Structure 1
Amino acid sequence: MKIADLPSNVRELISGGTAIPAHPLALNASRELDRRRQRALSRYYIDAGSGGLAVGVHTTQFEIREAGLYQPVLELAAQSAADWTDRPLAMIAGVAGRTAQAVAEAKTAAALGYHAALVSPAPFRDASEGELIDHCSAVAAVMPIIGFYLQTAVGGRALSVDFWRRFASLDNVLAIKIAPFHRHRTLDVVRGVIAAQAEDRVALYTGNDDHIVADLLMPFAHRRNGEDVTIRIVGGLLGQWSVWTKAAVDLHARCRAAVAGDADVPAALLALDAQMTDINAAVFDVANDFAGVIAGCHEILRRQGLLEGIWCLDPQESLSPGQAEELTRVTKDYPHLTDDSFVALHLDRWLND
């Protein structure tokens, strides 16, 4: 499947920029898939206005593969989306593992109607950049791909400007998720895309949960052949946006509107960058090197009633000491960046089979 084979409204949605939450995994107390609540999460994200769903990614828990849940979870999300709305949604599947596994997962995702594969670099942490390029090319032969600059704290690696130039030059590259949580490395992606002259065909999405608003508002200007080239990050594909998603969609829309004209960006909007970063520190458990990142997302969804508990496939994975109190603090301090009332209004309908 090539980019040209995608529905035109999906291509336009991704290239124009949208808000895509990274879909969590709903489990019951026996750590088995809770299909009812998994479906409710998809319905929530759709009704919140998200432009798509990213499934099989870090927030979905990479362990779904060993648990035999990769295809069932992707299939459930695709079916839930198709049953719930007629509007276009960008369906993104995370693919992991070495090349044979990633290609097999891409084939599964394509067969289920997914539009693009988000390619994890984690299995190639010690490989050469050329080997990683070959890996990405093999997956791109199956379906359109989204590059992923994953932060080193959760299994990523440093990648050069030249890597991103080569990656952006590949056929069938739809977008890049920039998530190194590192400003210099974020610029390396931008420079690589500009060097590849791919700024008009490869959409940039922030995965930098620590600088969401700044990424969406900042013009990135770099020189190419003696001329300035300006590029923008147009959307977000974020674990942070798996919670309080209605507020996230609204925030994305405000940022896009603010940069559409020639007027200065309002200071009040710029101030939200630090507030969102503070929220993310609590949700992602930055104080404990991200140990409670998935459990933090689950806890917000549990408090809202979307999840029954915060169980993860790994029994050792849970909230860190003090994390619950931090979540309470940021919920109280930044009510304008939450959507608890929206969820309460619709929860019964989402949970209704």
Structure 2
Amino acid sequence: MHWTEINTTLLDNFRGGLVIPAHPLALNSSREFDITRQRALTRYYVDAGSGGLAVGVHTTQFAIRDVGLYTPVLELAAQTAADWANRPLFMVAGVAGPTGQAIREAETARALGYQAVLLSLAALKTSSEDELIDHCRTVADVMPVIGFYLQTAVGGRRLTRGFWRRFAQIENVIGIKMAPFNRYATLDVIRGVVEARAEDRVSLYTGNDDHIVLDLVSHYRIQRDSKPVDMKISGGLLGHWSVWTRGAVDILGRCKKAQASGEAKEDILRLDSAVTDCNAAVFDVANDFQGVIAGCHEILRRQGLLEGRWCLDPEEDLGPGQSEELDRIYNEYPEFNDDAFVAENLSRWLA
């Protein structure tokens, strides 16, 4: 599948910038797949205004591959989105592992009607950049690819500007999710895309949960051949946006307006620090991201969307003091949560 085969409206929407939540995994108390609540989550994201969904990614838990849930989870999300939404969603499938596994997962995503794959390189820690590029090019022969710059704290590796230039030159690459949680590394990606002359094909998405708003309002001017090339980050593909998603849609709208005006006003700068403060609690930064997935689950549990915050790994749970931090951000930033929206619709989503 080539990117030119993607529905034109969907591709334009992706390039214009979307809220794409990283879809969590719903489990019951026996840590078995909870189909009813998994479906309810997808319906929630659709009704909250998400423009797409990312399924089988870090927030979904990479371990779904070890317990035979990769295909069922992707299939349920695709079917539910198609049945529930009155508009097409841009569906992204997480693809991981060595090349053989990544190809099989990309083929699964293609068969299920996904538009692109988010390609994790976390399993290839000892590979050279030449080997990484060969890997990416092979997967791109199967499906349009969105690159994934994952922070080192949760399993990523540092990649050079030269890597991102070569990656962006791959014809079937349509985007890059930048999540190194590092300003210098983020600039390496942006400059690499410009050096590849791929700025019209490759859309930039923030995964920098520590700087979501600032990423979305910033303008980047890169010199190429003694001429300026203006770049922006279009949207977000974020684990943080798997919770309070209706508020995330509002935040992206505000950021687009600020970006279009060319002014990052005081209220936007305050919004940036407030969203970052919330993310620190949700992602358990105080404990080096120990509760990063459980934190998202806990908010969804409090809202009733999930029955509990169980993860596939019984040892994975909230970090020390994280629950109290979640209480704090609920109290300090009531304007961000969408509890009333969820309460109004929960029975319908669970039906």
Q: TM-score range, shorter-chain basis? A: over 0.9
Partner amino acid for 2:282?
A: V
Q: Give per-residue Cα distances to partners, 1:35-82, cap 9 Å, x unaligned.
A: 000000000000000000000000000000000000000000000001
Q: CA deviation at 1:23?
A: 0.1
Instruction: Identify the residue that residue 253 of structure 1 maps to in structure 2.
Output: 253
Partner amino acid for 2:266?
A: A
Question: Do the aligned residues in 1 keep the contact of 2:82 with 2:88 (CA within 8 Å)?
Answer: no
Instruction: Identify the residue that residue 67 of structure 1 maps to in structure 2.
Output: 67
Instruction: Identify the residue that residue 276 of structure 2 maps to in structure 1.
Output: 277
Partner amino acid for 2:290?
A: A
The answer to which of 292-301 and 126-135 deviates more is 126-135
Instruction: Identify the residue that residue 160 of structure 2 maps to in structure 1.
Output: 160
Q: Give per-residue Cα distances to partners, 1:288-334, cap 9 Å, x unaligned.
A: 11010000000000000000000000000001111000001011101
Q: d(CA) in 1 for partners of 2:70 and 2:158?
A: 28
Q: d(CA) in 1 for partners of 2:130 and 2:289?
A: 29
Instruction: Identify the residue that residue 315 of structure 2 maps to in structure 1.
Output: 316
Q: d(CA) in 2 for partners of 1:230 and 1:12?
A: 19
Any stretches of 5+ residues in structure 1 without a counterpart? none
Instruction: Identify the residue that residue 80 of structure 1 maps to in structure 2.
Output: 80
Instruction: Identify the residue that residue 301 of structure 1 maps to in structure 2.
Output: 300
Any stretches of 5+ residues in structure 2 without a counterpart? none
Instruction: Identify the residue that residue 92 of structure 2 maps to in structure 1.
Output: 92
Partner amino acid for 2:124?
A: F
What number of residue pairs does the alignment pair up?
Answer: 351
Q: d(CA) in 2 for partners of 1:351 and 1:257?
A: 35
Partner amino acid for 2:235?
A: G
Q: How does 1:103-118 map to 2 (within 5 A)?
A: 103-118=103-118
Partner amino acid for 1:225?
A: D
Q: d(CA) in 2 for partners of 1:325 and 1:99?
A: 42
TM-score by length of 2: 0.99
The answer to which of 9-18 and 58-67 deviates more is 9-18
Q: d(CA) in 1 for partners of 2:330 and 2:237?
A: 22
Partner amino acid for 1:35?
A: I
Q: CA deviation at 1:220?
A: 1.0
Instruction: Identify the residue that residue 342 of structure 2 maps to in structure 1.
Output: 343
TM-score by length of 1: 0.98
Instruction: Identify the residue that residue 233 of structure 1 maps to in structure 2.
Output: 233
Q: d(CA) in 1 for partners of 2:259 and 2:171?
A: 30
Partner amino acid for 1:223?
A: Q
Q: d(CA) in 1 for partners of 2:272 and 2:131?
A: 36
Q: CA deviation at 1:86?
A: 2.6
Q: How does 1:45-64 map to 2 (within 5 A)?
A: 45-64=45-64
SS at match of 2:234: strand
Q: d(CA) in 1 for partners of 2:336 and 2:166?
A: 38
Q: d(CA) in 2 for partners of 1:249 and 1:44?
A: 13
Q: d(CA) in 2 for partners of 1:220 and 1:129?
A: 26
Q: d(CA) in 1 for partners of 2:264 and 2:118?
A: 31
SS at match of 2:294: helix
Instruction: Identify the residue that residue 151 of structure 1 maps to in structure 2.
Output: 151
Q: Give per-residue Cα distances to partners, 1:269-289, cap 9 Å, x unaligned.
A: 121111111101100000111
Q: CA deviation at 1:119?
A: 0.3
Q: Give per-residue Cα distances to partners, 1:116-164, cap 9 Å, x unaligned.
A: 0000010111211111111111110001000000000111011011100
SS at match of 2:261: coil
Q: Give per-residue Cα distances to partners, 1:58-116, cap 9 Å, x unaligned.
A: 00000000000000000000000011013021000000100000000000010000010
Partner amino acid for 1:99?
A: T
Q: d(CA) in 2 for partners of 1:125 and 1:74?
A: 26
SS at match of 1:131: helix
SS at match of 1:336: coil
SS at match of 1:236: strand
Q: d(CA) in 2 for partners of 1:99 and 1:20?
A: 26
SS at match of 1:118: strand
Q: CA deviation at 1:178?
A: 0.2
SS at match of 1:122: coil
Partner amino acid for 1:343?
A: V
Tell me if 1:23 matches 2:35.
no
Instruction: Identify the residue that residue 331 of structure 2 maps to in structure 1.
Output: 332
